């Protein structure tokens, strides 16, 4: 560093500027460059197929089969979407019905599971009943259950409860998920006890404590849970497959299989792409909304006692 004594203002400034430049260049280390390159490649890999899906959805019929295939639609049109929403000759059920089903089921599932999981984790962590350890180990073990293990008997249970082909069959089994409780538990453990104690001293009832103190503290976890639960419910096509028997109760994801009509059949690629896009959008929207919530709350959260 240049000695400051006896040097003019201009030279001092120049020295500092050169140092800052050195600092900036040092920040562009090879490690960083490589990181950036990898990131860009990864991002391309992950987003290109989706961009292509979006562009296919907007292509008019004649552009779907041109050879060599083009990436972006030359004359974008809403044809595919309109045909999707107004006329689906192969089924008697309008497409909007599927959307409604999916939406209803997913929203109710999300609300339900957030309540059930956070209440359960609250009871487990803050009240520590004697069986807490056993329950927690059970839940952790259940994390590793493959879905197949519980699916078949679940069907038998739902059948015996006479819930086949109702919305309840799509919602209720999804409410108590080990993963969700686990997530909530991790977060709740980080909340400070002092808040709860001071609330108790102030005479708050347990449910008020839960509602007004714990839930706000859990915001990042709740938002993450909302994203996960919504997505898992929306994208699940196996549950509707085994639990719904009538066309009118199907969800969007299941319905797409009917529409797509075969794996290598490109004949209705436009309609399928449009349907797929419509299917993907709600999950993305939920993610975007929750994400800003997640990031914000994480920025402001200082879990300081």
Partner 1 sequence: MKIAFLQGESGGKAAGFEEWYQGRGWKELSIYMTDRNEATEFQPKLHPGKKGRFAAHWAKYGTGYLFLAPFIILFTIFVIVPFFVSLGLSFTYYNMLEPPEWIGLNNYKLLFLEDDVFLIGVKNTLIFAFITGPIGYFASFFAAWAINELKTRKFLSLAFYAPSITSSVAVSVIWLYIFSPDRYGLINNLLIKLGFLTATEPILWTSNPKTIMPVIMVVSIWMSMGTGFLVFLAGLQNMPGELYDAANMDGVKNVFQKLWYITLPMMKPQLLFGAVNSIVNSFNVFAVATTIAGFPSPNYAGHTIVAHLYDYAFIRFEMGYASTIAVFLFVLTFLLGRICMKVFSSKDTY
Q: Verify binding: residue 213, partner 1, rule CB under 8 A.
A: no
Please tell me whether the peptide bond between 68 and the residue prior to it is cis, using omega within 30 degrees of 0.
yes
Q: In angstroms, what is the minimal distance from the CB of 216 to partner 1? A: 17
Among 14, 17, 38, 211, binds partner 1 (CB under 8 A): 38
Q: How many residues does the chain have?
A: 305
Q: 114, 175, 218, 226: which one contacts partner 1 (CB under 8 A)?
A: 175
CA distance 96 to 45: 32
Q: How many residues bind partner 1 (CB under 8 A)?
A: 105
Q: Which of 13, 72, 143, 289 binds partner 1 (CB under 8 A)?
A: 143
Query: Roughly how many angstroms between the first and final C-alpha of the chain, as a whole number?
Result: 43
With CB under 8 A as the contact rule, the residue among 186, 216, 261, 267 that binds partner 1 is 186
4 vs 303, beta carbon nearer partner 1: 303
Residue 206 phi/psi, 5-degree rounding, is -55, -40
> Token pair of 115, please?
């309540």
Residue of 15, 99, 104, 135 that binds partner 1 (CB under 8 A): 135
Site map 250..279 versus partner 1, x via CB under 8 A: ---x--xx--x--xx-x--x--xx-xx--x
Between 15 and 195, name the residue whose CB sits nearer to partner 1.
Answer: 195
Q: Determine which residue in the list 42, 72, 74, 289 makes contact with partner 1, applying CB under 8 A.
A: 42
DSSP SS3 for 145 = coil
Does the protein bind partner 1 through residue 61 (CB under 8 A)? no
84 binds partner 1 (CB under 8 A): no
Which 8-state DSSP code applies to residue 69?
A: P
Read off the DSSP letter of residue 70.
P
User: Residue 23 interacts with partner 1 (CB under 8 A)?
Assistant: no
Q: How far apart are CA 170 and CA 164, in angstroms?
A: 9
């Amino acid at each position: 560093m240049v000695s400051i004594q006896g040097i003019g203002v201009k030279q001092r400034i120049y020295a500092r500027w050169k140092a800052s430049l050195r600092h900036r260049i040092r920040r562009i280390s090879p490690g960083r460059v490589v990181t950036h390159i990898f990131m860009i490649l990864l991002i391309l890999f992950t987003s290109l197929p989706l961009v292509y899906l979006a562009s296919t959805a907007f292509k008019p019929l004649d552009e779907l089969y041109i050879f060599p295939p083009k990436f972006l639609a030359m004359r974008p049109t809403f044809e595919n979407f309109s045909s999707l929403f107004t006329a689906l000759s192969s089924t008697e059920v309008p497409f909007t019905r599927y959307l409604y089903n999916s939406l209803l089921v997913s929203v109710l599932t999300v609300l339900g599971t957030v309540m059930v999981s956070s209440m359960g984790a609250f009871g487990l962590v803050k009240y520590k009943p004697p069986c807490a350890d056993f329950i927690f180990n059970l839940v952790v073990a259940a994390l590793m259950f493959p879905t197949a293990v519980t699916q078949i008997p679940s069907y038998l249970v739902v059948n015996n409860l006479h819930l086949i082909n109702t919305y309840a069959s799509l919602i209720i089994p999804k409410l108590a998920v080990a993963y969700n409780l686990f997530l909530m538990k991790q977060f709740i453990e980080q909340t400070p006890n002092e808040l709860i104690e001071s609330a108790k001293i102030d005479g708050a009832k347990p449910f008020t404590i839960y509602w007004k103190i714990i839930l706000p503290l859990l915001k990042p976890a709740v938002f993450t849970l909302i994203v996960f639960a919504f997505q898992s419910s929306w994208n699940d096509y196996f549950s509707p497959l085994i639990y719904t028997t009538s066309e009118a109760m199907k969800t969007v994801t299941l319905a797409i299989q009917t529409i797509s009509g075969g794996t290598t059949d490109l004949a209705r690629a436009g309609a399928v792409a449009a349907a797929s896009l419509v299917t993907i959008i709600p999950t993305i929207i939920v993610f975007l909304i929750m994400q800003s919530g997640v990031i914000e709350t994480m920025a402001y959260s200082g879990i300081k006692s």
